[in-house]
Amino acid sequence: MSSSVYFLAAIRFILALSFSVAWPFIPLYLTDRGLSPFQVGLFMTSVGFFGTLVRPFAGALSDRFGRVRLIRILLYFRSAVLFLTFLFLLGKAPLWGLFILLFLIVVGFASFIPIADSYVAEASSPDNRVMGFGLIRLAINGGFALGSFLASFLLRYGYASLFLLSSLLVFVAATLSFRLRENRTGVGLVKKIVFAVPDRRFFLFALFSMSVFILSSQLINNFSIYAHTFMKIDKRLIAYLFTLNGMLILLLQIPFSAVAKRAGYVLSTLVGGLGWAVAFIITAFASSYSHLIAAVVFMTLSEMVVVPVIIASASDRAPEGRIGAYMGFWSTFQGLGYTFGPAWGGFFLENLGRWAWILLSAQSVLTGVGLSLLKPVRRTTRQNL
């Protein structure tokens, strides 16, 4: 892999650290300011949804103007908005102003994702893309783990301090982006953003990919609710399950990416789908904490295999010069899966109880089979950095 991929991994680590230091505490702050849980949930879902809508445009713009230039602009912009958010929180400014700033933070970050993924795809040879995206995933999870740890100490100084640190971290990431090297010249295809999907096969691939991220989102949201509400597991023990998830990713993501690379697209997607199915069946019939541990292990291993493979596959399907537009379109479905996944699983959990996990297990099998039948025909070539 190019050295630029390692620099981008460092940037993604810092950004994940910045995000996890501040963003998870926004719902708590809004609740303290008098908003109801429903209002908070509606706002968080709304900004997440609108954030996904900008991804195709951001990806296509990077085809025209270059990845690195837009990465720098977006990171410095995000750092500035985070600093303004720090000032707003420090002065307890009106909530409408805070809402605008939070919306800008989400839009800026959502725009960054497809551009960064496109950069990894172009900076890696086709055979090394799974490893490249595995490295990025490792960096992101490492940042999340450290950020949550730091936030526990900073909270004593108030919410504003979290956003001050977040702003400074993003500024460091923006400065580090000068180590990235642009590898291509734009081809002026911005006007064709809406035609980023020329065939039904790619659209189906994006839909099945969205299902992957719906499944992935269950661990953080509905799995913890089920463990606490239905199984009466102590919150402290649930936190240990998330720690287990993070440790497995930090220790095994790179080896599992290598295994997925050797196994190939078809086998990786099939095994990943079956792994999630097993995890959800274990959850449905779990009667002890050890069963939940086993379920988390299967969920985590499945995600480690599938996610880098399908991100790499999305870039493999793009024609020459259009990786940004294609990654932007595909990334929209990724965002939709993460945004609406909690509501999807929550609806079935509320109405079906433990049988919701059987339904999700069936979805897992269908997702794995569907993806395996949509093996890509690689059309891109590497452009040297």
What's the DSSP call for residue 226? I
CA-nearest of 337, 103, 312 to 210 is: 337
Task: Give pLDDT, residue 383.
Answer: 41
- Summarised one tens digit per residue, pLDDT across range 313-330 is 988 888 777 788 888 889
Residues 241-263: what's their mean pLDDT? 88
- How many Cβ atoms sit within 10 Å of the Cβ of residue 19? 20
* Cβ–Cβ under 8 Å, residues 54 and 110: yes
Chain centre distance of CA 62: 20
Q: Provide the CATH number for the domain formed by 199-372 in this structure.
A: 1.20.1250.20
Residues 6+ positions from 241 with CB-CB distance below 8 Å: 223, 224, 227, 292, 293, 296
* Cβ–Cβ under 8 Å, residues 356 and 348: yes
CA distances from 242 to 17, 230, 362 (A): 16, 18, 24
Chain centre distance of CA 214: 11
Same fold, 3-183 and 199-372: yes
CATH class of 3-183: mainly alpha
Residue 223 DSSP SS3 = helix
The amino acid occupying position 218 is Q
Task: Please give the mean pLDDT across all residues of the chain.
Answer: 86
Asked if the model's pLDDT at residue 186 lies above 50, the reply is no
**Of 158-172, 197-211, 269-283, which gets the smallest average pLDDT?**
197-211
Structure tokens at 38: 């429903």
Residues 75-83: what's their mean pLDDT? 96
Taking the model in full, what pTM does it have? Answer: 0.83
Asked if the model's pLDDT at residue 1 lies above 70, the reply is no
What CA–CA distance (Å, rounded) separates 18 from 162?
Answer: 9
Asked if the model's pLDDT at residue 62 lies above 90, the reply is no
Asked if the model's pLDDT at residue 28 lies above 80, the reply is no
Which is higher by pLDDT, 352 or 35?
352
- How many Cβ atoms sit within 10 Å of the Cβ of residue 274? 17
- How many Cβ atoms sit within 10 Å of the Cβ of residue 205? 24
Residues 6+ positions from 120 with CB-CB distance below 8 Å: 5, 8, 129, 132, 133, 136, 315
Q: Dump the DSSP string for 357-375.
A: HHHHHHHHHHHHHHHHTT-
Task: Give pLDDT, residue 116.
Answer: 93
Ordered by start, the domain boundaries in the chain are 3-183, 199-372
